[in-house]
Every structure is written in C-alpha cells, then in structure tokens.
Structure 1
Amino acid sequence: MVNLPHPIQYQGSKRKLASKILSFLPNKIERFVEPFAGTAAISIAVASKNISQCFWLNDINKPLIELLEIIVEQSDEIVSYYTNIWNAQNHDSIGHYFEVRNKFNQTNDPKLFLYLLARCVKGSVRYNSEGLFNQSPDKRRRGTQPHKMRKNIEGVSALLKGKCQFTSLDYREVLTTVKSSDFVYLDPPYQGVCGNRDSRYFSGINFDDFVISIEQLNQRGVPFAISYDGKLGNKTFGMPLPQELGLRKVEIEVGRSSQATLLGRAEITIESLYLSPNLLNGQSSELESYISKAARQLTLLEMYGQFSAVT
C-alpha cells in the first residue's frame, strides 16, 4: 500500500502503516469517518480496497482540509496551479518559497499550501505562536516535480471524487453526530507531545476531553480504531488510554528510526492502535494468527488480560 497515491507529504502520516491498520477493520463499512484526517492516508487506503464508498474527512486545520477537497474534487485546477508555482522557482527557489509562504500566511489559500508542503523540510508542518506557518524550505530539493504531483493528485481524485464530505470542525462535533453504522478512525496528536499547543501541530487536544469522547462512542456502540501513543527505543510518547475504556491495544512496529540510525543507535519506532470493544467480536482466531505472525517482527498485541503480550 506504500505505492498508493499521496500528493501531500506530511510528517506523522499513517501511509506506511495503512495495510496493517486495515487488517483490523471490517471488510465493508457504510461510512468511514476521520475526525483528524490529516492527509487522509487511511481513507485513501480504504477506498483503494473498496471497503467503503462514503467518507467524512474532517480536520481543524482548515487550509489542509480545503486543499484535500480541491485535490479530490478539482484535480485539474490544482495540478495546473501547482505546476505554475513550481515552474516559477527559477534561479532563486529559496526566495520563491518564502514569497509563497508569506502569501499563504496572509491569505490561507489552500492551493499555495500544496507547494509549501511539497517543498518544506521533511514534509513537517510548523507553526509559530501566532498560528502562522513558519517551516523552512528543504534546500536540497525543489519539491515534487509537476508530473509526479499530477499522477498522485489524479490517483487520489479517482479513488475519492464524489464520495466525501469535507469539514473543519472540532473533533468532538464530529463524534457527537456519528452513528453506529459508521466506522471512525482517529489519529489525534499524541497527548504529552503536543499538549494544547505545539509548533508541530495546528492544534492539540485535551487528554481528559478525548477520553470522555471515547467513552461516549462506546456507550453508543460506534466502532472505531485509534492511533494514539507510541515508542522510540525506550522513550514513550503520549499517555496510554485508560484500561477502563475496554479497548484492545495493538503495538505495531514501524521500523528503525532514520535519525537514530544516523546517530548510531538501533532504535525501533512502535505505534499503538486501540480497537473498540465491539470491533473484533468473534475474531479471536484471527487475532491469535496475527500474534503468531507478528512475533518475529517485534509487534506486540495486548488484550488487557484476554491475550498475553508477545515478547
């Protein structure tokens, strides 16, 4: 699934984990909902597998969700716009980047955002205390070439066009309106990494508020999965979700950290996936099969007493 179209480079995207995450989802979903859509990597994967034909993509970062909508619904327009911006770099590509960044911060034009995301350092979004995008350009490259961008945009549009609702709401507004026939995938900023405000995220979330929202989903019988905390070597990111929620936790090995490798450390990145209590009913054999296959990959599965962790 790594080869699926993804026009937006975005640090924290679950693109490389999509196939593992989908292995725990139902085979058919009436409506797939992402309250923290980001670049919609999981929705793209769901659409590619024909698991759902209806999507609700939401993100509090309004220019980002508006950009997604343009990519999906107006692919020709954004391809042309991006091509023109990319070609205008000429000899002073660094100066051009800062000009585009200044204009974006003045207008919040989502079409400008695409070029910034394609050209900024490591596809990593950064904001200052005033909420302005302030990430620097990658000086080693000029951003995704237009022909590659066209291919990715057209690929995403082919998968999602006419199937999506796009909103920029607080995630709690989304969760209060979802139904038991929906499936909700949540990928919020790690609690403990971002707090209520951090330069790496447009907006953080409050841990207690998030737990209350999950409790309410459980009470209403809405199936969901959450990518939430993680580990890098011996360092843990984010507070684990309370066992009282009755969630099933899968710890998935992402791979060796490239930064750690450069520093001569063999640190493995692991991300957690929490599954709602009603999601895997009657699938114990599949879970046991997953455990046996994953042991070699250092993937852990904890079922809060129902299964032992693999070591």
Structure 2
Amino acid sequence: MMKIPHPIPYQGSKRNLADQILRMFPDNFDNLIEPFAGSAAITIASAYYFKANSFIINDINQPLISLWETIINNPKLMVKSYHDIWHGQLGNEEEYYYQIREKFNDTKQPEYLLFLLAKCVKAAVRYNAQGDFNQSPDKRRLGRNPSLMRDDILRVSQLLKGRIQFHSTDYQNVLDIATASDLVYMDPPYQGTGLNGGFNYAGNIEFDNFVVSLFELNNNNVPYILSYDGRTGDKTYGSPLPESLNLTKIEINAGRSSQATLLSRNEITYEAVFLSPALVSKIDMQKVTGKHNYQTELFAS
C-alpha cells in the first residue's frame, strides 16, 4: 500500500494521527483551513483520502510557506535543487551543513530550508532572536534520500496543485476568512516550546488572544478541530481551555513517545483534540467515538 507523501520533515507533525483526525471531518465543506500549517499533514491526508477539495494553509514562517509553494507549483525545480544540494554534502557532511545553513540565513531560499529540515536534529525548526536558523545537524545521517524526496514532492504537487491557497500572516487574519461552510484544523505551537529556542512565532501566541479567537469562531458557527494538549502518564500539557467554549474533548492514544522508548518507560502519550459546537452538530459523534477507543468529555458551561 502506497504511503501518504510527506516531503517536509517537521517536529510535531500530526501525520501519524491524521487518519484518526480525518474521521472527525463532516461530510461536506468548502475549504480546509490550516492556520498553523507546519508540515501540512492534515491537508495532505485530506487530499489523499478525498476528504476535501479546496485548501488554505498558513504559517507565520515565510520561508516555510515559500517552500510549500515551490513544492506544489514547481515540483521539478525543487526535486533538482534538493538532489544537487544533498549530493554536495558527500565527504564533507558537517561543514557543508553549516555552509547551507549560512546560505539559508542570508537568502531565505526554500531549497536550503528543505535540506536543513531533512538533515537537522529531530527535524526541529529552531531560530535565534535575530531570526537565523540555528539548529544543529544530525551527524548520524545524511538526510532524506533524494529519490524518496522526489517521489513525495511529485505526489504532493499532484494532490494539491491548483487547489490550494498560501498565506504567511498572523493566524488571526486567516481565521477571519473562515466561514460556517469551511472546516478549520488548528495545531498551534505547544505552550512552552517557543520561548526557549523555537521560531519566534511559537512564543508569540498569547493564550488569552487565542481563546478570544476560539470564541469568535464559535460566534460565527465555524466548525473547527483543535489539537491542543495531551498527557503522558501523570503529566498534562497545556493550560485548560474555558468550559464556556463548549468544546468536545477526544483523547487519541498516540502510543509511546520516542523519549519514553529511549528511557525504557511504558508511559503512553494521549493527544487531545477539541471539537467545536458547530462541528459536533454536523457529525455523528456516536459513530466517531464508537469506532475508536477515545475518551470523550463534553464541557458544558
């Protein structure tokens, strides 16, 4: 069975949970909107499984959106660029990585970013206070093989070309264009991950402002899915959302984290998604929860 293509490696990607998240989609809607696109895992999966026909992705990280635009609208150029950059490292891997990193910081060219993400530690985007990419290389590997990258780039372009809009702006601007006929999927940067070495936007999403945005979506009857918090063992992540949002919480068993595996721990990570009232009114919740071992909790005001 052919796998869903994922050309951009990205820490925190929801690609392994995408099939479960897609089961919460309504049958019909106009646009799938991702205000915090990152790896665009849900957009790609939605196109692959014919769950949506029109897509809007946004990320405040402009080079990342430029990368997506090139992959989807000019895939052959990106295939060749990645091939040439990847082969250029052979025999001089570590020094070459830092040379490419410097070129990216000087030019913000998307082909350099793709190589850095394919090669850096944990595929984690890290920028310093000056806006320069500062993540180190993973010295154990060369990064995604160009032939595999080629296949993913060409397949994603085939799935999305002509059906997607690109934005690089504050997430609130993108939420402003969402209507009751759309579906919004949000996977905001986790609290605490942005201030200590993440990309600048990760630390600038103020919790209170984000909650106001959720209330506005509710007031406009916009259906949305929010990947927000989670728990591992007794440890819970994320500040609690107001009960007055009337969200339905569903926990997804995400298995053991890589950290737990390294430490030989048996702790299971559960990732939470929250469904808006407008979405719950459009889907069969018994069907959604009955097929999977989700724990559901309806917050009532």
**Aligned with 1:142: secondary structure?**
coil
Counterpart check, 1:211 vs 2:206 = no
Amino acid at match of 1:240: P
**Residue correspondence of structure 1 range 132-151 to structure 2 within 5 A:** 132-151=132-151
Question: What is the distance in 2 between the residues matched to 1:87 and 1:200?
Answer: 29
1:34-79 alpha-carbon deviations (Å, 9 max, x no partner): 1101111100011112222211110000000110111111100000
**CA, structure 1 residues 269+48, in 2 after alignment: closer, same or farther (shift >3 Å)?**
same
Name the residue aligned to 2:25.
25
Q: Which residue of 1 aligns with 2:297?
A: 302
User: Contact 2:129–2:200 (CA<8 Å) still a contact in 1?
Assistant: no
Q: Which whole-Å CA distance do the structure 1 matches of 2:31 and 2:264 have between them?
A: 45
Query: Larger RCO: Structure 1 or Structure 2 (Cα < 8 Å, ≥ 6 residues apart)?
Result: 2
User: Matches of residues 34-73 of structure 1 in structure 2 within 5 Å?
Assistant: 34-73=34-73
Letter in 2 for 1:200: G
The residue type equivalent to 1:303 in the other structure is L
1:224 corresponds to 2:224: yes
CA deviations on 1:94-126 (whole Å, 9 max, x unpaired) are 111000001111111111100000111121111
Stretch deviating more after TM superposition (262-271 or 213-222): 262-271
Contact kept, 8 Å, 1:257 with 1:266, in 2: the verdict is no
TM-fit CA distance, 1:282: 6.4
> Residue 214 of structure 1 aligns to which amino acid in structure 2?
L
Report deviation, 1:280. 2.0
Superposed displacement of residue 194, structure 1: 3.3
Map Cα deviations across residues 149-173 of structure 1 (whole Å, 9 max, x no partner): 0000011101000111101010011
| CA distance in structure 2 between the aligned counterparts of 1:239 and 1:17, rounded to whole angstroms | 22
Deviation at 1:4, TM superposition (A): 0.3
The separation in 1 between residues aligned to 2:227 and 2:118, in whole angstroms, is: 25
Give the conservation status (yes or no) of the 8 Å contact 1:2–1:16: no
* 1:215-252 C-alpha deviation (Å, 9 max, x unpaired): 00111111111111111222111112211101111111
Paired-residue identity, %: 48
Give the counterpart letter for 1:287 in structure 2: M
TM-score by length of structure 1 reads 0.91
Size of the alignment, in residue pairs?
299
Partner SS for 2:189: coil
Distance in 2, Cα, partners of 1:190 & 1:2? 31
The Cα shift of 1:290 comes to: 4.4
Preserved contact between residue 32 and residue 183 of structure 1 (Cα < 8 Å): yes
Question: Is 1:117–2:117 an aligned residue pair?
Answer: yes
Helix, strand or coil at the partner of 1:255: coil
CA distance in 2, matches of 1:2, 1:269: 27
Residue 95 of structure 2: aligned partner: 95
Q: Which residue of the partner structure matches residue 285 of structure 2?
A: 287
What are the Cα deviations for residues 111-152 of structure 1, in whole angstroms up to 9, with x where unaligned?
Answer: 110000011112111122222111111111101111000000
1:176 is aligned to 2:176? yes
For structure 1, the residue ranges without an aligned partner over 5 or more in a row are 307-311
In the alignment, is the contact (CA less than 8 A) between 2:228 and 2:272 conserved in 1?
A: yes
Alignment deviations for residues 255-275 of structure 1 (CA, whole Å, 9 cap, x no partner): 111211221211111111010
Check conservation: 1:224, 1:276, Cα contact below 8 A: yes
CA contact (8 A) 2:230 2:236 kept: yes
TM-score normalised to structure 2 length: 0.94
Supply the RMSD in Å over aligned alpha carbons. 1.8
Cα distance in 2, alignment partners of residues 292 and 168 from structure 1: 38
Answer yes or no: is the 8 Å Cα contact 1:39–1:68 preserved in 2: no
CA displacement at 1:92 relative to structure 2: 0.7
Deviation at 1:211, TM superposition (A): 0.4
- Counterpart of 1:200 (choices 194, 198, 201) is 198
Structure 2: gaps spanning 5 or more residues? none
Deviation at 1:29, TM superposition (A): 2.2
